[in-house]
């Protein structure tokens, strides 16, 4: 039985197959290392390392790619666009802004970057260490109807969520901002970005922005250049403005008493877009300032730390393969 099976298998191998097998065996013996390396996965994280806490923005710099036509990063299934850096008018590599979502699990992840130059493409790989941020716990007591919505309000809230999602899906392919980000209102920063919220004794979604206490009617400014993608009057956010800064970068301004811009308006950094109020689900006049960066909910105050001053470019933040300490107090975005 055994012999018969072997003979039949042997018969099926053609002369061509036999030649190929011989060739592979010969090549393997001559170039064993070369053949082996083709079967192993590409090493990861060799091009640099970054670290930051939940809710932070990391500046990723890729140098020596002046001739590249396009760079695209992928981090935790999110796309990270890159833009050109210029120094003295000359192209000097590329920069990408990577947002660590406030709920990204702490750990080490890969940022894969595809560098295209015409038809050619190559892959770069960076390690990104995500450290845990210690978020506050916020206890709120609100009128019952503002927390436990009735059926009609739930339907309204869902429709509003969908509208926002659709509006934010069509982000500009151009980078619309040119200089540093500014604080939208003069007021008291509450430090509750990312806080766990207990409303009327029940845990709710974490707070996805920063609240700034300011008097009713105070001016609210656009934190950078962009286009007004959406103005709303929604059940939770009240009167609000969504500004598209391009390349998947959005800032949001909620609970306004008055909105002074309309959908499609071009705005510049510092331009007054509305007035502080307490519309929607708010306990008193304040500005809720939120940011979405390529789908990641990041601390708006991390924008103020970005090293972009009036068109200058940031220094390289690529670290050497030694992990950067994540206990650096400068890296903590919230001061309590
Ligand atoms: Zn808020």
Which tens digits make up the pLDDT trace of 291-301? Answer: 999 999 999 99
Q: At 163, which helix (H) or strand (E)?
A: helix 151-169
| 73 alpha carbon – ligand 1 mean position (Å) | 30
Label residue 28 by pLDDT band (50, 70, 90).
very low
Report the separation in Å between the CA atom of 130 and the middle of ligand 1, taken as the mean of its atom positions.
24
* List of residues 6+ apart from 196 with CB closer than 8 A: 135, 136, 137, 138, 203, 206
Output the CA 221–ligand 1 centroid distance in Å.
17
For 166, phi then psi, to 5°, come to: -65, -45
Say yes or no to pLDDT of 245 above 90. Answer: yes
CA of 99 to the centre of ligand 1 (A): 19
Contact 102, 297 (CB under 8 A): yes
Q: How far is the CA of 141 from the centre of ligand 1 (A)?
A: 14
Instruction: State in Å: Cα 288 to ligand 1 middle.
Output: 4
Any idea which of 67-81, 87-101, 304-318 has the lowest mean pLDDT? Answer: 304-318
Mean pLDDT across the stretch 226-232?
Answer: 96
Determine the pLDDT at residue 322. Answer: 30
Question: Taking residues 107-119, what's their average pLDDT?
Answer: 94
CA distance 5 to 12: 11
Q: How far is the CA of 228 from the centre of ligand 1 (A)?
A: 20
Question: Would you mind telling me the total number of residues written for the chain in this entry?
Answer: 336
For 202-218, what is each residue's pLDDT tens digit? 888 899 999 999 999 99
C-alpha 151 to ligand 1 mean position (Å): 23
**281 C-alpha to ligand 1 centroid (Å):** 9
The C-alpha atoms of residue 245 and residue 178 are separated, in whole angstroms, by 10
Task: Please tell me which residue, 181 or 64, carries the higher pLDDT value.
Answer: 181
CATH architecture under which domain 49-133 falls:
Sandwich (2.60)
Read off the tokens for 145: 């109807």
**Which has more pLDDT, 306 or 319?**
306
95 CA to middle of ligand 1, Å? 30
Structure tokens given for 188? 């008291």
What's the gap in Å between 247 CA and the centre of ligand 1?
Answer: 25
Dump pLDDT digits (tens) for 120-159: 999 999 999 999 999 988 888 888 877 777 888 889 999 9
3-state secondary structure of 133: coil
Ligand 1 centroid distance, CA of 182 (Å): 18
Identify the pLDDT of residue 16: 54
What is the whole-number distance in angstroms between the Cα of residue 8 and the centre of ligand 1?
75
**Distance (Å) from CA 211 to ligand 1 centroid:** 5
Cα–ligand 1 centroid distance for 237 (angstroms): 8
Is 137-304 the same fold as 49-133? no
Q: Compute the distance from residue 282 Cα to the ligand 1 centre, in Å.
A: 8
Rounded to the nearest angstrom, the distance between the alpha carbon of 254 and the centre of ligand 1 is 8
Reported for 323-330, long-range contacts at CB under 8 A and 24+ positions apart, including other chains, are 323/49, 323/51, 323/129, 324/49, 324/50, 324/51, 324/129, 326/51, 326/52, 326/53, 326/129, 326/131
CA 119–ligand 1 middle distance (angstroms): 47
Cβ within 8 Å of residue 113, ≥6 positions away? 47, 60, 62, 71, 72, 73, 74, 80, 82, 96, 123, 124, 125, 126
Higher pLDDT, 314 or 136: 136
The arrangement of secondary structure in 137-304, i.e. its CATH architecture, is: Distorted Sandwich (2.70)
- 76 CA distance to ligand 1 middle (Å): 26
CB 219 within 8 A of CB 272: yes
Q: Which residue has the higher pLDDT, 280 or 87?
A: 280
CA of 212 to the centre of ligand 1 (A): 8
Cα–ligand 1 centroid distance for 210 (angstroms): 6
Question: How large is the average pLDDT for residues 156-164?
Answer: 94
- Domain ranges for the chain, please list them: 49-133, 137-304
Distance from residue 335's CA to the centre of ligand 1 (Å):
17
């Amino acid at each position: 039985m055994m012999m018969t099976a072997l003979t039949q298998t042997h018969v099926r191998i053609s002369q061509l197959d036999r030649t190929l097998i011989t060739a592979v065996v010969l090549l393997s013996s001559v170039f064993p290392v070369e053949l082996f390396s083709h079967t192993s996965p590409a090493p990861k994280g060799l091009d640099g390392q970054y670290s930051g806490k939940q809710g932070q923005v990391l500046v990723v710099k890729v140098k020596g790619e002046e001739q590249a036509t396009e760079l695209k990063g992928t981090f935790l299934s999110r796309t990270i666009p890159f833009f050109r850096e210029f120094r003295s008018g000359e192209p000097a590599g590329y920069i990408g802004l990577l947002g660590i979502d406030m709920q990204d699990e702490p750990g080490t992840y890969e940022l894969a970057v595809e560098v295209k130059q015409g038809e050619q493409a190559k892959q770069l790989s960076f390690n990104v260490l995500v450290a845990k941020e210690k978020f506050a716990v916020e206890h709120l007591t609100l009128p019952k109807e503002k927390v436990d919505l009735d059926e009609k309000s739930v339907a309204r809230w869902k429709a509003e969520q969908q509208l926002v999602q659709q509006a934010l899906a069509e982000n500009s392919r151009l980078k619309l901002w040119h200089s540093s980000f500014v604080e939208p209102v003069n007021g008291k920063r509450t430090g509750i970005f990312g806080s766990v919220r207990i409303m009327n004794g029940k845990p709710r979604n974490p707070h996805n922005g920063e609240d700034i206490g300011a008097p009713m009617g105070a001016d609210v400014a656009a934190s950078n250049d962009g286009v007004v993608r959406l103005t709303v009057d929604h059940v939770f956010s009240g009167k609000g403005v969504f500004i598209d800064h391009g390349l998947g970068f959005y800032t949001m301004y909620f609970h306004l008493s008055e909105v002074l811009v309309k959908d499609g308006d071009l705005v510049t950094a510092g331009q007054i877009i509305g007035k502080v109020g307490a519309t929607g689900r708010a306990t008193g006049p304040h500005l809720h300032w939120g940011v979405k960066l390529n789908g990641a909910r990041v601390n708006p105050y991390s924008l103020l730390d970005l090293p972009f001053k009036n068109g200058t470019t940031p220094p390289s933040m690529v670290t050497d393969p030694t992990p950067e300490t994540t206990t650096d107090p400068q890296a903590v975005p919230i001061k309590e």
